[in-house]
Every structure is written in structure tokens, then in C-alpha cells.
Amino acid sequence: MKSEDVKKIAMIGAGDMGHGIAASFLLGGYNVVLRDIEQKFVDKGVAGIIKSLDKLKEKGKIAPDIYAQALVRLTPMVDLQEAVKEADFIIEAVPEKLDLKKSVFADLDKFAPKHAILASNTSNMSITDIAAATNRPDKVIGYHFFNPAILMKLVEVIKGKDTSDESIQIGYDIAKKIKKVPVIVKKDSPGFIFNRVNEPTLLLLSKVLEAGHPTPEEFDAAFKPLMAMAPFELVDYVGIDVAVHGLEYFASVLSKDYKPSKAILSYLKSGNLGKKTGKGFYDWSKGRPSIDLAKATKEFDINQLIALQVNEATKLLEEGVVDDPKEIDLAMANGGGSPFGPFALAQGIGYPELVYKLNELHKKFPLDIFKPTKTLKAGKIKL
Ligand code: 3HC
């Protein structure tokens, strides 16, 4: 198959990510089947697509005819077999449980046409493991979008152990066609690029909660003027459940340091998961939370957060997940709300200062993850 042969997309899972990805493909001119396990979830996904497209239409970012055509190309559905039977490219965005993903992929393999590519929007998990549930591992790719998927440009296109170059190329080409910024991740590795580089920050938040100070608002107030979304606010936006599952996965495959603290687990247990439930670290019932900047903590600063990102990014280079630091910067700048990637920021700040900042954090929380790498200490990476 060639990328021009991809006409029909099946989106499996109509949650936050699923409906945002579906909307991106609808705007890119594709026919999209949106499928979830119950009609009420499908309806919620369709409502989410309409809400997003309405926003874009109201702001004049899409013309009324593009809006109307996009909705005509959308087919909502509950029956999985029916949803995928004519699909060329199928994207899974079901909850982050490996067994669930494997069982979905086994079904997709059974029901989808032989030529179809099966793509997983997993945030962190091994594409090779997911592909093992199928008889077509060459046609299984990682295809990772960022929340809100309709706006965020990055798509990580991830190669599993047996993924063919042809499958990767098709994923890359159609991401370009829908005006995203695809970045190829040539080695299957936990969290790929974006989530791996951000995971130490999430670990820091988990530890700050455990320490009991500063509060999420005091912490966020120090960063809010410098970021599209402050760190705790962003976790609320993406979902505390998603964040905890990420930490658990990293703890199981990378380092026990990542084990979620009791304090962050207590939010999961309470069911207050952030924006989607109306409450998490903040109250979202009336929209974006207001953060009182006067409460800003002096205990933490932005160079510490940048140091955590740059340090983890050097591990991706050391491990051969990515060869070129520019690719990491491209991914980081397009997956989140920052105009710059970590290595561009490092050029301005200087590597010795970043090493100093990491040592400061390591003193507070003596975790191996926070230790500066050899590459960081050598300070030779230029763009
Ligand atoms: N659909 C359509 N338009 C939307 C939208 C949606 N769902 N959400 C927001 N918008 C539009 C708004 O209407 C507004 O349009 P305008 O500029 O023309 O007025 C624009 O986007 C900006 O929205 P707001 O003014 O409400 O708020 P912000 O300026 O803060 O922008 C944001 C919102 C784009 C989400 C920005 O806060 C941001 O970039 N945040 C960071 C997001 C991020 O880091 N995402 C990655 C998370 S990690 C992840 O997803 C990994 C996964 O594995 C978990």
C-alpha cells in the first residue's frame, strides 16, 4: 500500500484523544469511522468533535463548507467488526492498559483488511509488545498524538521491532497530509520522545505532593507566566489517571524511582481526575482554573524544570532512541505549548548551570533519575 491509497480511517476509542484525532483526520479530508464500546461514549466523542469544529468555525479558522464536509465524512459506530472492515488505517486510543490494548489489536487483526495498518496512540507502551498480539507486526506502528489533538502538531511515528519502513512512511505521509508535524522514533522505547523527556517533571510533581509543600497552586504560580499551562494544571488537563498510569509504567520498565507517591495515588482513588471529572488539583467546573500568581513559591524555578528535560533528552541520545538533538527539539516544541525545545533552551542557559540545578534537585529528592548524565556534564551538544 502507498499513502495515497489510504482513504478510510477507523478511530477506535472516542475519548479525549480519540475524538481529537478523528477531528484532525476529518479536517484533513479523510473519511473517518469513530467507534467506542457503547453508544453513549460514541455520542460524547461526536459532541466533542462538533464542539472543536464549532470553535474553529466561529474564529474563522475553517470555512463553513469545510466544516459541513468534515461532518458528512464522519460515521459513528459501536460494532467493531463493521467499523474496521473497509478501513485502510486504524488508530487505537483505548485506556492505557497493555492487556486491553493487546486484546483490541488481536480483534483488529482478525477483522481489518489484510492491507490495513494498525496504529496505537499509546502514550508510553511498547509497540513491539502490542504488535505481538497480531499476525502483522510489520503493519503495526506507534502513532502518538498530543492533547488537545486537534491543535497540537506533533505526531510521534514509532517503529516497533518488526515494523516495516513502508508502514512508517505511510504513517509519516498521512500525518503531513493532515498538517501535523510527524517525528519518526526509530527505536521502541518507553514514553518515546515527548513523554520520556517530561516524565522526570511528573516525578517531581509526585514528590512535591508527597512532601506536602508547596501546594499545587503555589508551585504552579511560579511557572504560570512562563508556560502555556503550569505543570499541575497540565496534569489536570491531561488527566491524573493518565499521569499515574504513566508513572506506574515507567516504574515497571525504567526505574523504581518513578513509583507514584501515595499522595498522587490518593487523587486517583478519590476519582478526582482533573478537567474531565470537573475536579483534580483544581476546580474545573467553571473552565480553566485561576491561579493566584501572588502565591508563587520560591522553592523551585524554571531552570530546574528545563534541566530535568535536557537531562532526560540526553538519555535518549545516549540510548540511540534519537540520533539528532534537533529532532528532540522539534518534537518537544510541537507536542506542548512551548516555542522552544530543551536543547535550544540549554544553549541560552549553559550546561554548567543545568548541572548545578539538577544537583540542587537531587539534594532535595535523592533520586537517580535527577542525577546529571555524562552527556549533560560534558556539555558539548550544539544544535
Ligand atoms: N478545539 C478547537 N480549538 C480549541 C480547543 C479545542 N479543543 N481548545 C482550545 N482551542 C482554541 C481556543 O478557542 C483558542 O483560540 P484563539 O487563539 O483563536 O482564541 C486557542 O485554542 C487558545 O485557547 P485558550 O485561549 O482557551 O487557551 P490557551 O491559550 O492556553 O490555549 C492550549 C490552550 C492550546 C491547550 C494551550 O494551553 C497549550 O498549548 N497547552 C499545553 C498543552 C500540552 O502541553 N499538551 C501536551 C500534553 S501531554 C500529552 O498529551 C501526552 C499524552 O500522552 C498524555
Q: Take atom 38 of ligand 1 and give the residue whose Cα is closest.
A: 337
Q: Which residues pair with 181 in a beta bridge?
A: 154
What's the whole-model pTM score? 0.97
353 C-alpha vs ligand 1 centroid, how far in Å? 31
Query: How far apart, in whole angstroms, are the C-alpha atoms of residue 273 and residue 241?
Result: 6
* Spatial contact of 286 and 330, defined as CB atoms under 8 Å apart: no
Class of CATH domain 302-378: mainly alpha
- Torsion sign over Cα 156, 161, 163, 165: positive
- Distance separating alpha carbons of residues 11 and 93, to the nearest angstrom: 8
Class of domain 3-185 as given by CATH: alpha beta
Q: How many Å lie between the centroid of ligand 1 and the Cα of residue 291?
A: 17
Task: List, in sequence order, every beta strand (DSSP E) within the chain.
Answer: 8-12, 31-35, 74-77, 89-92, 117-120, 140-144, 154-159, 181-185
Which residues are tagged catalytic?
144
Q: Confirm or reject: Cβ of 147 under 6 Å from ligand 1.
A: yes
Of the candidates 178, 312, 348, 149, which has an alpha carbon nearest to the alpha carbon of residue 340?
348
Q: Could you count the other beta carbons within 10 Å of the beta carbon of residue 48?
A: 21
pLDDT per residue of the chain (383 residues) written in tens, 0 to 9: 999 999 999 999 999 999 999 999 999 999 999 999 999 999 999 999 999 999 999 999 999 999 999 999 999 999 999 999 999 999 999 999 999 999 999 999 999 999 999 999 999 999 999 999 999 999 999 999 999 999 999 999 999 999 999 999 999 999 999 999 999 999 999 999 999 999 999 999 999 999 999 999 999 999 999 999 999 999 999 999 999 999 999 999 999 999 999 999 999 999 999 999 999 999 999 999 999 999 999 999 999 999 999 999 999 999 999 999 999 999 999 999 899 999 999 999 999 999 999 999 999 999 999 999 999 999 999 88
59 lines ligand 1 (CB under 6 A): yes
Domain 194-295 of CATH type 3.90.600.10: no
In the chain, CATH 1.10.1040.50 sits at 194-295
- List the grid coordinates of 358: 539538577
Instruction: Give the pLDDT confidence score for residue 117 in this predicted structure.
Output: 98
Which of 44, 146, 151 has the most ligand 1 atoms within 8 A of CB, as the residue to mutate? Answer: 151
Q: Is the CB of 197 under 6 A from ligand 1?
A: no
Cis peptide bond prior to 148, omega within 30° of 0: yes
C-alpha 101/C-alpha 261 separation (Å) is 26
Length of the chain: 383
Q: Delimit the CATH 3.40.50.720 region(s) of the chain.
A: 3-185
Residue by residue, DSSP assigns 247-306 as HHHHHHHT-GGGPPPHHHHHHHHHT--BGGGTBSSSB-TTSSPP--GGG--SS--HHHHH
Cβ burial of 256 (10 Å; 0-12, 13-18, 19+) is exposed
Compute the CA torsion angle 47, 49, 55, 61 (nearest 10 deg). -160
- With a 6 Å cutoff on the Cβ, whether 122 touches ligand 1 is no
State the distance from the centre of ligand 1 to the C-alpha of 162, rounded, in angstroms.
35
136, 157 Cβ separation under 8 angstroms:
no
Indicate where the chain has its CATH 1.10.1040.10 domain(s).
302-378
Q: Which three cell numbers stand for residue 378?
A: 560534558
